[in-house]
């Protein structure tokens, strides 16, 4: 479920609890989220490791460990990292000082693994980074063909944008999600570039969108769902022009747009 703003929110909320603590163990309720090695080996390998810091790359959380390895966590559709457990608890990271970090996942699409070094995740640029300039966006956009929304959600093109923020960025830019990216004008690309940054930043400010199930590390909902213009608003009047928001399917995902504002 979580896209860049939701993962960023979680990172900011857990870093104080986990940074500079040692992982003393892992307790499983259901070990299926552990990948690349057996849960037993994972537990043995990670025990005694000190967490030097936590960073976010796209929708991944990277725990930098003292040995140089990284604990990598992707939350999938329904994964949560919590400071208090909930009913979908799958495993508990035991930390020095009696602290605990809980991983919960209703749908079991989340992935947790240990990487020998910085993981090679095959991702496009970070949309909120310095390096992601308009020229960079234009350069990668000009190499692509196809429906603009699907390309925005392609993690190797641009990292961290998912179904909600792709729809919202396109509304903000006034571009229909099914437009072909190769047919966008320079002015449209520019609007889209600024819209992507804008909606992601707003999502972070509001601690994420809780349309369905997202909760942060404290178990609280974000508030950005109250600011969404199209996502999950099928049939409701556009905030800008009152035209009913339309829902279509693209790439097997619900796609929302305003037929009045988006051309």
59 is a contact residue toward DNA (CB under 7 A): yes
146 is a contact residue toward DNA (CB under 7 A): yes
Residue 251 in contact with residue 238, Cβ under 8 Å? no
* Diameter of the chain measured on Cα atoms: 58
> What's the min distance (Å) between Cβ of 98 and DNA?
29
Considering only the stretches 134-142, 169-177, 236-244, 252-260, report the one whose residues sit in contact with DNA under the rule CB under 7 A: 252-260
Which of 196, 193, 181, 175 is CA-nearest to residue 143?
A: 181
| CA–CA gap between residue 15 and residue 18 (Å, rounded) | 5
Q: Which of 29, 66, 99, 145 binds DNA (CB under 7 A)?
A: 145
201 is a contact residue toward DNA (CB under 7 A): no
213 is a contact residue toward DNA (CB under 7 A): yes
DSSP string, 29-60: S-GGGB-SS-HHHHHHHHTT-BEEEEEEETTE
236 is a contact residue toward DNA (CB under 7 A): no
The residues carrying an active-site annotation are 2-3, 59, 253
8 is a contact residue toward DNA (CB under 7 A): no
124 is a contact residue toward DNA (CB under 7 A): no
74 is a contact residue toward DNA (CB under 7 A): yes
Query: Which residue number, 143 or 236, has a Cβ lying nearer to DNA?
Result: 143
DSSP 66: T
- Cβ neighbors of 247 (< 8 A, separation 6 or more) are 234, 254, 255, 256
Query: Which residue number, 32 or 190, has a Cβ lying nearer to DNA?
Result: 32
> What's the min distance (Å) between Cβ of 95 and DNA?
26
35-41: list long-range contacts, CB under 8 Å, 24+ apart.
35/111, 35/112, 35/113, 36/113, 36/114, 37/113, 37/114
Binding residues (CB under 7 A) for DNA: these are: 1-3, 6, 32, 58-59, 74, 76-78, 106-109, 143-147, 150, 153, 155, 162-164, 180, 208-214, 225, 251-254
């Amino acid at each position: 479920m979580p896209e860049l703003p939701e993962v960023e929110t979680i990172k900011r909320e857990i870093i104080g609890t986990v940074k500079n603590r040692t992982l003393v163990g892992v307790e499983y309720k259901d070990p299926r989220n552990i990948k690349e090695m057996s849960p037993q080996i994972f537990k043995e390998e990670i025990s005694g490791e000190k967490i030097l810091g936590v960073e976010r790359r796209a929708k991944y959380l990277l725990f930098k460990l003292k040995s140089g390895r990284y604990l990598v966590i992707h939350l999938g559709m329904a994964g949560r990292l919590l400071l208090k457990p909930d009913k979908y608890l799958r495993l508990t990271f035991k930390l020095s000082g009696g602290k605990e970090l809980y991983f919960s996942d209703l749908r079991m699409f989340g992935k947790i693994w240990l990487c020998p070094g910085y993981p090679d995740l095959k991702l496009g640029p970070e949309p909120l980074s310095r390096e992601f300039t308009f020229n960079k966006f234009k350069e990668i956009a000009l190499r692509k063909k196809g429906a603009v929304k699907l390309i925005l959600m392609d993690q190797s093109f641009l990292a961290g944008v998912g179904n909600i923020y792709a729809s919202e960025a396109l509304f903000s830019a006034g571009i229909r999600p099914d437009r072909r990216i190769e047919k966008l004008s320079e002015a449209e690309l520019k609007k889209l570039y600024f819209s992507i940054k804008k909606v992601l930043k707003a999502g972070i400010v509001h601690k994420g969108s809780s349309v369905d199930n997202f909760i942060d590390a404290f178990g609280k909902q974000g508030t950005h769902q109250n600011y969404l213009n199209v996502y999950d608003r099928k049939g409701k009047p556009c905030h800008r022009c009152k035209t009913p928001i339309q829902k279509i399917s693209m790439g097997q995902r619900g796609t929302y747009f305003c037929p009045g504002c988006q051309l």
